[in-house]
Structure 1
């Protein structure tokens, strides 16, 4: 026994002495030192939190390079998120000094080099969010540890300005807007210039994001400002073509904000807004989270990117040639619209009451209002064509969710995939739908049992939460999380989600203009989960039938 004890002690000593770590890393701004953790035998990870990628930004100005620092900066704590309203919009949280990123670097027997890099852009309606995500018992949603460790990639999560300070625009050169997108772009460029020092391959950067982060990923691939910086991209539940992706009338909203903070709305407006207290500005842009079928909450999301002639020189649909050589995955959750339609038509979440068909019609009328009665009638007949003469209560509720999912996420995502494939040079295109039933059914909220994957349900699986907090999940959830991490990191390594070292349960075919093949992702998936022409009838309605009708009402 004594000999065994000595051997163990020697092994532990050798393991500690040879702990693989980058130690102090030189970046363009100065030296940084993170924290090194042990993952298992001969496996370690360096984690850097709060590395500055730009200076504290000026109000309504593009980000500027960081001036640098002396000595070694300890990067072991997350920095505050960018200034934003708190959850109940009564006060603000965060700071204007928020352009920092976090880096997870896995090591095996020796210190890693030339690893693929995955850069995460968080969602939050362009209004809220942070590079570390929500925190539950010191378990941060966007911790890159599980992805980095399981997929053998470097994970970077970045902060960017949100809300008024990130996306307000006067529609002219006074306050052109898109500051949050410029922050993301500065972070991507910083990673490209510096990641080699952390063991990453600057020529193999994948950007990925969800919701407003998925749309941001899409914007970053189509802007001319990222030429040569991005190799691959993944948009989860959000693309540049989403109806909430671009604010078409920024001036009107800027004037509303100006009035709330006592600024004039004439040619002095921009100067006054730049002088206004940042907390006041932030709260003036917070969202009224009520909705109705006649005024869906979607139409209140007004702090979004704008076509500024610079970051976005044209309509997003005309810019896909800029993504010709970027490999692209885009997909949705099968009930992405549930969380939004439940605000507009709350009865869908009650098993005990009917959802009036009239509520469904009013929601459709809001989404098709530019086309008047003809738009509504066409939409109604499209969505009720499979109902039969006596649709069940559940059928009506599910149809309301399908309408929201199609309009807000699914159809624009299919349109973006089609444009990406049509413009592709070397870039490959892949489409998916996540259909894992929501875990919230009866768990936290009184969700009906029929709810599929709701908006943001994908995040826990991509970030490996079923492994981090095993007690909160079933083994089937760990299967699903393992599959998603395998597809995502294989894709980051090779541009093919099927190849890259991790085995997958089904071969995911490319999306092409004729086959429209996609993968349905679920815990019990197998090779039979390859499908084609996702909701083609509805995609066709929104992208070709509806636009061909005469416009009777425009803003």
Structure 2
């Protein structure tokens, strides 16, 4: 009998030390093992929700951080793409896309952290593993984080009068950076050694974070590649006209921003 008791205790201890299960501030997640291009094993945690679904009453609203959960959530596959042109999203809630991926050698230590913002002109793209994966970078002694954020009108529409505030895609990024600040030490990362980087729209995003008080204290270094906060495609100089044009195309006629917002909120993504 004592042999069985000891065996059970050892099994429980091993389960509690499972390197593929991480207790984040919000709840437990289970990841998987990937390999770098040189064949080194790394730990992968993909499709980790950092925010609630920005759909329904949350559409066009600032980001809502993810709520705590019970049990262990699967983090072995990429999350879903945020709605974007030319991509047929068949998910039950296609707007429930605010997830991130964490790649690390192991869960011990305090390694520098690199957070990547993807390209795509704020209209397309994702932080998916096949696009922004770890297979080269994780041969270095770093922790890599990639993420999705809202795109196009769902992420950047603004009525300029407070009804739809705009730049919610950037707010998504800030929420993800706050998640990193709270949780990355549990993945072997140093929350005080975060570098943000990105190319094209990701590079412009990096520059916006450098200027924004909302991002203060969330990173210490920044690398902007082939993108600028002053690029013509990165700035909407007449957002109200874009709202009017979009409303006309979608038959959301109304004399006030609130009426247009109510109509746009009711349409499928």
Give the TM bin, normalised by the shorter chain: 0.7 to 0.9
Which of 18, 27, 30 aligns to 1:33? It is 30
Deviation of 1:67 (Å): 1.6
Distance 2:208 2:86 in 1: 27
Deviation of 1:270 (Å): 2.0
1:122 corresponding residue in structure 2: 118
- Larger RCO, structures 1/2 (Cα 8 Å, 6+ apart): 2
Unmatched 5+ stretches in structure 1: 1-16, 134-139, 279-555
Which of 259, 262, 265 aligns to 1:271? It is 262
* Higher-helix-fraction structure: 1
* Higher-strand-fraction structure: 2
Deviation of 1:22 (Å): 3.1
Contact 2:36 2:135 in 1 (8 A): no
Distance 1:40 1:160, change over 3 A: closer
Deviation of 1:38 (Å): 5.9
Contact 1:203 1:231 in 2 (8 A): yes
Contact 1:210 1:237 in 2 (8 A): yes
Distance 2:25 2:145 in 1: 17
2:96 corresponding residue in structure 1: 97
Which of 168, 171, 187 aligns to 2:176? It is 187
Aligned-pair Cα RMSD in Å: 2.3
Deviation of 1:69 (Å): 1.6
User: What TM-score comes out, normalization by structure 2 length?
Assistant: 0.85
Total equivalences in the alignment: 247
Aligned pair 1:51/2:48, yes or no? yes
User: What TM-score comes out, normalization by structure 1 length?
Assistant: 0.42
Aligned pair 1:146/2:145, yes or no? no
Distance 1:123 1:42 in 2: 28
Aligned pair 1:174/2:173, yes or no? no
Contact 1:21 1:45 in 2 (8 A): no
Which of 203, 220, 237 aligns to 2:226? It is 237
Contact 2:61 2:165 in 1 (8 A): no
SS in 1 for 2:105: strand
Distance 1:43 1:211, change over 3 A: closer
Deviation of 1:28 (Å): 1.5
| Structure ID, larger Rg | 1
Unmatched 5+ stretches in structure 2: 1-13
Distance 1:41 1:242, change over 3 A: closer
Deviation of 1:241 (Å): 1.4
